[in-house]
Amino acid sequence: MDCKTYQQTSVYINLSSRQELSALCRTCNGDWVRSTIDLNGVLGNSDGIAFPAHSRRPSAASNKTLVNAGTFDWTSMNFGASAKNVELQDGKVLSANLQRKDGTWTDKPVCVNLTEHIQNHNGTLCRGEREESESTISPDVREKLQAVAGLITSQQSAMDNAAFELDYLVTSNQRLVLQELEVAFLRLGKLAGCIRGEFDEEVKDGGVPKSNPDAVLRPMIRSFENVATRTEKALGLVEKIYQLANQHQMSGLPSLQRDVSSLRAEITTEVDGVQTTLSELQEKIKESAAAVEASQALFKEAQATKEKAKSMETLIKLSGWVLLPIGIGMNIATVDGPFWDAVKSNEAKIKELEEDAAKQQAELTTLTQKEADYHATLHAHDHLATQLDTLTVNIVAISSRAESVRETIAATKGLMDALTEMARDLEDKGAMTDYQVSKKEYAAHIVCLLDMALPYFSAVGEVEKILVELEEGDDEKGSVKEDLKNEMAVVRGKLELVRLCV
């Protein structure tokens, strides 16, 4: 799309702040998008005179209002900071009182026609010069309705995509967590071997230990780290979805609601205007019909008189002077003369009235169709309002769900970080040459991990089996069974709750 005067291809033009112009602009493919432009990049102020910044400053004596491009020039203030009572009239004329260098303000508002210097370039407001040949006809209510409908559809599509992406993130993240924690759970089972004495002796064949607790811990730590890394990425994506929904909720929806409300008022005004014109036209048609009927009655009466006069005149001519005494004192209209000129004029008037009546009837048909079209537009607006309500519900739902998912994923990441830290701590203890990790410490670590991530571990393995193995592999002092009795009871209690919830 070539650059067009923004008023020609934009609707709902307003000032979103003292210096920011906002509008719903049509793109090359017919879509409608919201665009804004900072008037500080379009207008300048030279001692109380609006002028094209980044151009030669006009003299104060010129008293001209100019517009082009640039920024506020003569002080550190921008246009918005040096203007007050800023108003936009008819979506195109900007008026404001401007501040002078001495701090005083112009007595009268300075007016600028923005349409001459702001354009819509494929849905984006930009500065530029208008071509003189361009039309300046603004979109009608149906085009505005189409624009708002397109914007609602676009935002609804964005929300549908966000909902799908959110579902995918939740599902894929949950699947990854279960896959990695299944590996970690298997390693926990291996780690329980230290309680059963699998790490106490060495196999005589080659002097290689049966197993190494560190070798079990490292894959488990890797699983926790994989989940933490993936959840961190998912958290960033969910945050984007939340910000998108929140942006629509905080700025997009209020703007759309204003547009829909304004459009309703505009359509209602148009309908009222058409109905008023229609009523007036119907009254005129009634009056015209009555005038035609009255004129036709007079014409018929005159036509009858004409026929009688013709008959009388013919009779006199045929009878000669025999009937002359009878005709004395009678006023017989002649076929020609002023009376019959008036009759002919009346006949022409009737034709004129009939032609006017036909035109009025055609206009009535047009207005009736226009009224029907506006009522259809009102019906379409009702559907549009319903779509907006649906969009509002969806945006709020997406925002709420994204926030909930964000909290859940953040909690999962926090859990993985904590599990990783615990496993590394145990790994560090095992690496110390002057410190021997006891069976009780291994058992306490296993029980703590099971307790912290029980909902996940219970979904990928038999938690009770590991608890039983820990108890059966206890040392002679029974330190695991006795000292960790309460902790293991807590895990079993939570495990029972998990089973009830499944």
pLDDT band at 501 (very low <50, low <70, confident <90, very high): confident
Distance between CA atoms of residues 347 and 353, nearest Å: 10
Q: What is the pLDDT of residue 68?
A: 35
The percentage of residues in the chain with a pLDDT greater than 90, rounded to a whole number, is: 8
Q: 333 or 59, which is more confident? A: 333
Upper half-sphere CA count for residue 401 (Cβ side, 13 Å): 16
Mean pLDDT is lowest, of 87-91, 249-253, 299-303, for 299-303
CA atoms within 13 A on the CB side of 106: 23
Q: How far is CA 84 from CA 91, 107, 110, 423, in A?
A: 18, 11, 11, 65
Sequence-distant (6+) residues with CB within 8 A of 339 are 302, 333
How would you class 33 by CB atoms within 10 Å of its CB: exposed for 0-12, middle for 13-18, buried for 19 or more?
Answer: middle
Closest CA relative to residue 343, chosen from 301, 289, 292: 301
Q: Domains of the chain: which residue ranges? A: 4-139, 152-263+401-501
pLDDT digits (tens, 9 = 90+) for 412-468: 999 999 989 888 888 787 666 555 667 777 788 888 888 888 888 888 888 888 888
State the pLDDT confidence band at 502, using cuts at 50, 70 and 90: low
Residue 396: per-residue pLDDT: 92
Query: What tens digit of pLDDT does each residue of 5-22 get?
Result: 565 677 777 777 667 888
**CA-closest candidate to residue 21, choices 72, 87, 85, 82:** 87
Q: Which two tokens stand for residue 346?
A: 């009346």
How far apart are alpha carbons 457 and 223 in whole angstroms?
Answer: 13
- Which of 172, 168, 165 has its CA nearest to residue 245? 165
Residue 289 has pLDDT above 60, yes or no: yes
Cα 349 to Cα 158: distance, rounded to the nearest angstrom: 66
Residue 79's pLDDT band (boundaries 50, 70, 90)?
A: low
CA distances from 61 to 46, 49, 50, 96, 424 (A): 12, 10, 13, 19, 79
Name 400's bridge partners.
none
Mean pLDDT of the chain: 74
4-5: strand order across its sheet:
4-5, 118-121, 124-127
**Residue type (1 letter), 20:** E
Report the pLDDT value the prediction gives residue 371, as an integer from 0 to 100: 80
What's the CA gap between 223 and 395, in Å, rounded?
Answer: 35
Has residue 398 got a pLDDT over 80?
Answer: yes
Residue 150 to residues 2, 28, 146: CA-CA distances in angstroms?
A: 21, 14, 6
d(CA 238, CA 43): 40
Q: Could you confirm whether domain 4-139 is CATH 3.30.420.480?
A: no
Beta bridge partners of 118: 127
The encoded tokens of residue 219 equal 């894959």
Per the model's pLDDT, the better-predicted residue between 383 and 326 turns out to be 383
Q: Confirm if 159 and 248 have CB atoms less than 8 A apart.
A: yes
In the chain, % of residues over pLDDT 70 = 68
67 pLDDT higher than 70? no
- The per-residue pLDDT for range 111-167, each reduced to its tens digit, is 877 777 777 777 677 776 544 434 344 457 777 787 788 788 878 888 888 899 999
**pTM of this structure:** 0.58
Q: What is the mean pLDDT of residues 38-67?
A: 52
Integer-rounded Cα Rg, in Å, for the chain is 45
